[in-house]
Amino acid sequence: MSRRLVRSRRLPSVIDAIGNTPLLRLERVARSAPGVEVYVKLEFANPGGSVKDRPALRIIKDAIADGRLTEDRILIDATSGNTGVAYSLVGTALGYRVQLVMPANVTKARKDITQAFGTELVYSDPMEGSDGAIKIVQKLVAEEPDRYFYADQYSNPSNPLAHYHGTGVEILDALGDRITHFVAGLGTSGTVMGTTRRLHEHTRPVHCVAVEPAEALHGLEGLKHMESSIVPAIFDPSVPDEILRVGTEDGWDMADRVAAEEGLHVGHSTGANIFAAVQLAERLSQEGRGGCVVTVACDRGDRYFAPMKWERRYTW
Ligand SMILES: Cc1ncc(COP(=O)(O)O)c(C=O)c1O
């Protein structure tokens, strides 16, 4: 089946629109690296608008398959971001209730998107950040273990598996032996862990680079500065071949550049991914090696209209 037909197929459920995202060549922002191709996988084309639709679907399907999630249980997790939207979308489509715990001070937009799906929100102490939200989930689950399925994206192996069986396979399907490098940011680390494991199994070597914020206090939402964070259980530092650190300003500026030059309005973690991919491409070009670098567009820029740009130093 041609790629055109794959994109225009008829679907029985919204969950069948998850995955098979397009791969776009970046011509303009990568022109500083002649001889090297740079591609970005457009994960914002998933129906929930982000890369997190993949792990949410796999987490829910795997839990249904082995009986951890049943119709009388509520899926619960601590998230105010893209994963919350993804759980809400997949949960609704498959007929399961979703409850999210988030700090009371998250933006109205974030509360509104998830509530639009019928998701119940529980608010935690804004002074305790995301750790406070996690503590409340753990307390609720401990009090009524039979009532909940705790999805726990940071520890759930279904998260990287979604990328092992999805993102990695799709990249190889699109590019085959052409791909030489893969670059993606570390949040839960699911994207890097799963995709890298699949690309490392390819018959030709693929050098896989993890992107981390350069500073502990950063404005690259979705990414984690591992040294100063609670390290996700699914993160294995021996999996990526290299770690590149990207500053908040560089990520934000690249997000502005790809909007202005490529017509692609992306979030700041995507700006950081593309900044690192272009830096790597320039290195290869200067060494006269050529290559094909693939990175990921995690979500769209309109998810960040609040807080506004003047809050660039906001810490997530
Ligand atoms: C905007 C954004 N970028 C990057 C990531 C990181 O992806 P992963 O959790 O697979 O490491 C996330 C994950 O929450 C995200 O929401």
Instruction: Pick the atom of ligand 1 nearest to 268's CA.
Output: 1
Residue-level pLDDT at 246: 98
Q: According to the 3-state scheme, what is the secondary structure of 117-129?
A: CCCEEEEECHHHH
- Cα(288) to ligand 1 centroid in Å equals 32
| CA 34 – CA 286 distance, rounded (Å) | 9
Instruction: Looking at the CA of residue 186, tell me the nearest atom of ligand 1.
Output: 11
Cα–ligand 1 centroid distance for 290 (angstroms) = 29
Contact yes or no for 272/27 (Cβ under 8 A): no
Cα 46 to averaged position of ligand 1 atoms, centre (Å): 14
User: To test the ligand 1 pocket, which listed residue (42, 50, 113, 316) has its Cβ within 8 A of the most ligand atoms?
Assistant: 50
Ligand 1 midpoint to CA 188 (Å): 7
Measured by CA distance, the residue closest to atom 6 of ligand 1 is: 187
Nearest Cα to 297, choosing from 48, 33, 51, 11? 51
Ligand 1 site residues, Cβ closer than 6 angstroms: 50-52, 81-83, 185-191, 221-223, 267, 269, 298-299
Ramachandran area for residue 35 (φ above 0: left; ψ -120 to 50: alpha; else beta): left
Give me ligand 1 centre to Cα 233, in Å.
Answer: 15
> Residue 108: what pLDDT?
80
Candidates 183, 249, 253; CA nearest to 218 is 249
> 13-20 — which CB contacts under 8 Å span 24+ positions?
13/93, 14/47, 14/89, 14/93, 15/57, 15/89, 15/90, 15/93, 15/94, 17/46, 17/47, 18/46, 18/47, 18/48, 18/53, 18/54, 18/57, 18/90, 19/46, 19/53, 19/54, 19/166, 19/170, 20/170
Structure tokens at 37: 């191709």
CA dist 85 and 1 (Å) reads: 31
Nearest CA to ligand 1 atom 13: 222
Tokens 């790629």 — which residue? 3
Sign for the pseudo-dihedral over CA of 260, 265, 271, 274: negative
pLDDT of residue 6: 57
- The C-alpha atoms of residue 52 and residue 184 are separated, in whole angstroms, by 14
- Looking at residue 105, its pLDDT comes to 83
| pLDDT for position 3 | 53
d(CA 181, CA 202): 12
Find the 183 Cα to ligand 1 centroid distance in Å. 13
- Mean pLDDT in order along the chain per 10 residues (316 residues): 62 97 98 98 97 98 98 94 95 98 84 93 87 92 98 97 98 98 97 98 98 93 89 97 98 98 97 98 97 98 68 46
> pTM (2 decimals)?
0.93
Q: 56 C-alpha to center of ligand 1: Å?
A: 12
Please enumerate in sequence order all residues whose Cβ is within 8 A of that of 42, keeping only pairs 6 or more positions apart, or say none: 21, 22, 23, 24, 297
Q: Whose CA is nearest to atom 15 of ligand 1?
A: 222
Choice from 152, 153, 191 to test ligand 1 binding pocket (greatest atom count within 8 A of CB): 191
End-to-end CA distance of the chain: 43
Identify the pLDDT of residue 1. Answer: 47
Distance CA 171, CA 296 (A): 10
Which tokens in the block code for residue 17?
């629109």
Residue 106's pLDDT is 81
* Residue 130 tokens, joined: 């995301």
Taking a C-beta distance cutoff of 8 angstroms, is the pair 84, 76 a contact? no
